[in-house]
Chains A and B, each alone.
Chain A
Amino acid sequence: MLKSRIIACLTVKEGVVVQSIGFSKFLPVGRPEIAIEFLNSWGVDEIILLDISAGRLGQLISCEMITNCSKKCFVPLTAGGGITSVEEAAQLLHAGADKVTVNSAALVRPELIQDVAKKFGEQCVVVSIDAKKLPSGEYGVFRSGGTDSVGIAPVEWAQRVRSLGAGEILINSIDRDGSKLGYDLELTSSVASAVDIPVIALGGVGHPQHFIDGLQNGAAAAAAGNFFHFSEHSVITAKSFIAPFAEVRLDTYADYSSGGFLEDGRVSRKKDKFLQELRFVHYEEEVI
């Protein structure tokens, strides 16, 4: 059976992974290849690497960074940031990305989606949509890092990109970015029910329950950025929390299924006696 995917979305600004809050505040985390090495060993299902500074500077996300990251990444790697042409998409795929994600440039020139899909297949094209609730109560699509309103509804744009050959849609809520309040479920489910391709929810995860909410509201995959940083085994513990409610892949060396969770979603502390005994258990790393 096909599993629901838990995806890590790394936001990169000037070569450094950052936590993003509301598309406007950024906290530095560290080097992308190190973050990827950890996420990979913690059993994340996919990684999306988004360079948020590249597009604004009129540049492409660094191919060198993609190559370095791909050497540590044995799960699918999606690259995005400043892609404006098929040639640029080709450069990234050649550098080690498995898929590319386009956003602002596709809003200016929608044929870009078609061109990339024709050359590399629809499965290779993830269209990223940044959306926000407008004062009118309707949702609107924004481009260039959430600064420019495009004047189109996310549902309408999702259907359009689907018809142009998008293989997946990444729907990101600007309002919820870094809020820890959970996904904008109204936005997620409206887009997911409007298209027949997989939709990835992003923006707002602060508790492992939020992944479950996203998956139960139409998302084929649930992504988070900030949530996975600064806590050991973050992916493994989140998946252990999700496992009783949604089908996820659990293939890692550590297992938190028996421990129980606190109200805030953190793993509950084991008894001192148990921890004491753990000191004498030696785990041999497997050589494949």
Chain B
Amino acid sequence: MSTSLIGVVDYGLGNIQSVCNALERLGCRFSASGDDKVLSKASAYILPGVGAFGEGIDNLNRSGLRTMLNEHVIEKRKPILGICLGMQLFADASEEMGDYEGLGWIPGRIKMLPSSDGVQVPHVGWNNLSLRIGDPIFSRIGDGAHVFFDHSYSFVCDQEYVSAVCSHGIEIVAGVQRDNIFGVQFHPEKSQNDGLRILRGFFNYAEGCVC
């Protein structure tokens, strides 16, 4: 059994159960909670999320989880993996249904995907990843691995933070990375074995960070 404890941040949005199922499958110790006292004991975090940006950031602010995450991720430098909306919340701002300020952990903005002939939005389905930074979370999968996407907005940021991209009409940022902060636009918990390999990569990294 691993020594680290993964905190799955439940801020009232998204399908927490799917993430928990994947963690269970991988045999990880985890605790899914919206209580900052419970979560502060964790040594690494997963920020899942399906839904709208505005509601997501409002929920984080209102529940006090934003303060808790800032303390543990930015000051104490615990690893965090944001999934889909969870990753988008790391940005400075989003234009989804209004103008919202994000956590501001990775410089960038969330913008609507452009649709064109033969390119449907939402971007839903399995697409290939082109890896830019393999280590640590993509170290167990090959370039071109299939993962499941389901989103209408995407992260737009400086190339230095981009860990993976995919192509859907335009090049879309599929993964971001800055120090101990990792984000994926797709759903590793719903991307079969390659998805589980990505989560394993994150846990192994988190395990190495436990002091």
Contacts and interface: CB of A to CB of B under 8 A. Distances in A.
B50 A5 contact: no
22 contacts: A1-B127, A70-B21, A71-B21, A74-B22, A74-B196, A75-B192, A76-B150, A76-B190, A94-B15, A98-B150, A119-B51, A121-B50, A121-B52, A122-B122, A122-B152, A168-B124, A196-B121, A198-B122, A198-B125, A249-B126, A251-B146, A251-B194
A251 B193 contact: yes
A122 B15 CA distance: 15
- Interface size class for chain B? 35 or more
Contacts of B167: 1
A1 B147 CA distance: 11
A2 B127 contact: yes
Given A76-B150, A76-B190, A220 B120 contact: yes
A173 interface: no
B17 interface: yes
Contacts of B18: 70, 77, 96, 98
Interface of B: 15-18, 21-22, 24-26, 50-52, 115, 120-128, 140, 146, 148, 150-152, 167-168, 187, 189-197, 200
A167 interface: yes
- Interface size class for chain A? 35 or more
B191 A197 contact: no
Nearest to A93: B15
* Candidate in A5, A119, A121, A249 with the most chain B CB atoms within 10 angstroms: A121
A152 to B, nearest CB: 24
Contacts of B190: 74-76, 98
Contact of A2 (B22, B126, B152, B187): B126
Nearest to B150: A123
Contacts of A288: 26, 140, 193, 196-197, 200
Given A67-B17, A70-B17, A196 B125 contact: no
* Candidate in A67, A167, A288 with the most chain B CB atoms within 10 angstroms: A288
A121 B52 CA distance: 6
Given A2-B126, A123-B151, A288-B196, 11 more contacts: A2-B168, A3-B126, A67-B17, A74-B195, A76-B150, A121-B50, A123-B50, A167-B124, A168-B124, A197-B120, A288-B200
A262 B150 CA distance: 36
Contact of A94 (B17, B25, B187, B200): B17
A236 to B, nearest CB: 13
Contacts of B50: 93, 98, 120-121, 123-124
A127 to B, nearest CB: 14
A286 interface: yes
